[in-house]
Amino acid sequence: MPILWSQGAGADVMKRIATPMVGGVITSGIMELAIYPIIFYLWRSRRLPKGGPFTGFHHLRETS
């Protein structure tokens, strides 16, 4: 962020580099904290059985 407000020699070149970098960091943070968990939840909810967490595992019990 300080690069965006700099005024020294070469600041105009550094501002052009820093602007997309700061935007990418902000976008990445939003995606990681908000969008990716929603996508993961929707993806996993389609594959989980509807009857509860242990539905479909009755064949794993030992029978004697």
62 found inside a domain? no
Name the residue range of residue 43's domain.
2-47
Does the model's pTM come out above 0.85?
no
21 found inside a domain? yes
Give which of 26, 27, 6 is closest to 16, Cα–Cα.
6
Domains in the chain, number: 1
pLDDT in tens, 8-61: 787 888 888 888 889 999 999 999 999 999 999 988 887 766 655 555 555 555
30 found inside a domain? yes
Q: What is the DSSP string of 9-64?
A: TTHHHHHHHHHHHHHHHHHHHHIIIIIHHHHHHHHHHHHS-TT-TTTT-GGGS---
39 found inside a domain? yes
Q: Please identify which residue in the block is written with the tokens 């929707």.
A: 42
43 found inside a domain? yes
